[in-house]
Structure 1
Amino acid sequence: MTAIAAPAPVTARPRPVADVLTMLRRSLLRAVRYPGLTVFLVLGPLVMLLLFVYVFGGAFGAGVAPGVAPGADGRAAYLDYITPTLLVITVVGGATSVATSAAMDAASGIMARFKTMAIAPGSVLSGMVLGFLVQALAALVLVLGAAVAMGYRPDADVLDWLALLGLFVLLGFALNWLCVAMGLNAQSVETASNMPLILVLLPFLGSGFVPVETMPTAVRWFAEYQPFTPIIETVRGLLAGGGLEGAVVAQALGWILAIGVAGYAWARSLYRRERRI
């Protein structure tokens, strides 16, 4: 009598797009359940906006816009100058939060469990990156709305706004991948929140708050060639409705591409490696 072979077990196949959307939903649900990180994305830039405009703006505005008298005119001039910086810092803040989230998932063992499931390997990190990108874009709208309520009036046209949106999406992707890698590389959740602090400090050491021309030679050299100066200047030019320098835009896109590729490669390498704490 011939034996009948048992049917081979059916193995579920990963569905990359559906898996990424599932992980994106998970990331957004976490933002709803733990709103502290999301609130910080908006609260931090808003506090800086109010502080620098209403406390320091009257004096600083006379420095960034020659011929402007300290006081109300100075505050208006500094609001125009600092708003693009705080929009960039909002995206940076979202990226630093993803480092903590990645470290929490790695330390809790949920990522190790995901590796045993029939899901696309890249969907776990991609969903996290997309989730925090959505949060950062929502925070950008709120911060920009607050600046407009304070008197900021951008001169950007439709094409400028579309270019600005594309720039922020690219910047968010790049920084999120880099910070995911930082979070996976951290030895604990506590240290994960400290590693991306350099990204928060760099706008202060560039043209974000004062023109680089006012800095000493050594500091000015660093400020001119670090990543965030061309990025902030590109955002500033788009919001002003033109006046962009091709070299500055090329530097900004080059830095964003370099950060994104390096962060993606580092994050994927760390995800494949077994975590040992």
Structure 2
Amino acid sequence: MTAVLRDVTTLSVRGLRLVRRDLDAMITAVVLPVVILLLFVLVFGGALDTGTGYITYVTPGVILLAAGFGAANTALAVERDMSGGMVERLRSMPVAAWTVLTGHVVASLVKNLVSTAIVFGVSILMGFRPEATALEWLAAVGVILLFVGWITWLAALVGVLVRSPDAAGGFTFGVMFLPYVSSAFVPVETLPTWLRGFAEHQPVTPVIETVRALLAGGTVPGDVVALALAWCLGLGVASAVAAGLAFRACR
């Protein structure tokens, strides 16, 4: 167990170094969500009625969008390791080679905490005033981390399965699509009927509703919280198991 923890720590540090060196991806993961926040608040915010200040409404959705961008880069990083010989090198050493996946996931969690903090900072400068208690802040961060963990393990699975950087990069499209067709930017009640059903029953919506309610210091419906946790934990575990099995099958 000690050896495995050491391997995971070593490869997590390596993952963070790779993130630091890939400045283009880091800048995109941070700058693009901020630009989207500015665009929606300054351009569309005045025309959208969400029942509260639009900056308060949209910030949780942009945070999850930022998390999605950051996690999507994990697919590229894993694909590079799979095709670049890193995994084969680890398999020739007394190291649990699958820990490279865990290292990428841990690095993604740390990177997304940074990008989330930046988005929070910009939103506060724009007028966002969360009313959450310390416990509610902790719960909101926990839900965000669960969401990032699920998306990152799914990205790791994609990185194991694909055979080119372009295919791995295609994962970003799906990550970008889900928040837009949810309650991230507008209430789902305003969507067309044929689209509303999808928005109400996809995983991003209950996660956003939970984070939004926690940050606002309001009461979070128990069924929404349960659904958000079920989606994140269920899909996270399924993605991690599938990534592990796919990794072993690639031997």
TM-score by length of 2: 0.96
Provide the secondary structure at the position in 2 that maps to 1:118. coil
- What is aligned with 1:230? 206
Query: Matches of 2:190 and 2:22 in 1, distance apart?
Result: 42
Regions of 4+ moved over 6 Å: none
- What is aligned with 2:175? 199
Q: Is 1:49 the counterpart of 2:25 in the alignment?
A: no
Q: Is 1:265 the counterpart of 2:241 in the alignment?
A: yes
Q: Is 1:59 the counterpart of 2:47 in the alignment?
A: yes
Q: 1:35 aligns with which of 23, 38, 49?
A: 23
**Unaligned regions of 5+ residues in structure 1, if any?**
1-12, 67-76
Map Cα deviations across residues 248-270 of structure 1 (whole Å, 9 max, x no partner): 00110000012101110111112
- What is aligned with 1:211? 187
- What is aligned with 1:10? none
Count how many residue pairs are aligned between Structure 1 and Structure 2: 251
Map Cα deviations across residues 213-241 of structure 1 (whole Å, 9 max, x no partner): 11122211111101101010001001101
Q: Is 1:26 the counterpart of 2:2 in the alignment?
A: no
Using the TM superposition, give the Cα deviation of residue 143 of structure 1 relative to its aligned residue in structure 2, in angstroms. 0.6
| Matched residue type, 1:147 | S
The higher radius of gyration belongs to 1
Matched residues, percent identical? 39
Query: Matches of 1:243 and 1:270 in 2, distance apart?
Result: 41
Contact 2:71 2:152 in 1 (8 A): yes
Map Cα deviations across residues 162-221 of structure 1 (whole Å, 9 max, x no partner): 101211222121111111001111121111010242122111111111111111222111
| Matched residue type, 2:15 | S
- What is aligned with 2:119? 143
- What is aligned with 1:122? 98
Contact 1:14 1:120 in 2 (8 A): no
**Unaligned regions of 5+ residues in structure 2, if any?**
none
Using the TM superposition, give the Cα deviation of residue 121 of structure 1 relative to its aligned residue in structure 2, in angstroms. 3.5
Contact 1:89 1:200 in 2 (8 A): yes
Cα RMSD between the aligned structures? 1.5
| Matched residue type, 2:193 | T
- What is aligned with 1:164? 140
Query: Matches of 1:53 and 1:219 in 2, distance apart?
Result: 23
TM-score by length of 1: 0.87
Provide the secondary structure at the position in 1 that maps to 2:171. coil
Alpha-carbon distance change, 48 to 198 in structure 1, aligned in 2, over 3 angstroms: same
| Matched residue type, 1:178 | L
Alpha-carbon distance change, 14 to 110 in structure 1, aligned in 2, over 3 angstroms: farther
- What is aligned with 1:109? 85
Map Cα deviations across residues 36-87 of structure 1 (whole Å, 9 max, x no partner): 1111111111000111111111111xx2128xxxxxxxxxx11111001011
| Matched residue type, 1:65 | G
Contact 1:82 1:208 in 2 (8 A): yes
- What is aligned with 1:92? 68
Using the TM superposition, give the Cα deviation of residue 14 of structure 1 relative to its aligned residue in structure 2, in angstroms. 7.9
Query: Matches of 1:244 and 1:139 in 2, distance apart?
Result: 25
Query: Matches of 1:198 and 1:253 in 2, distance apart?
Result: 21
- What is aligned with 1:180? 156
Q: Higher RCO, 1 or 2 (CA under 8 Å, sep at least 6)?
A: 2
Query: Matches of 2:88 and 2:238 in 1, distance apart?
Result: 23
| Matched residue type, 2:234 | A
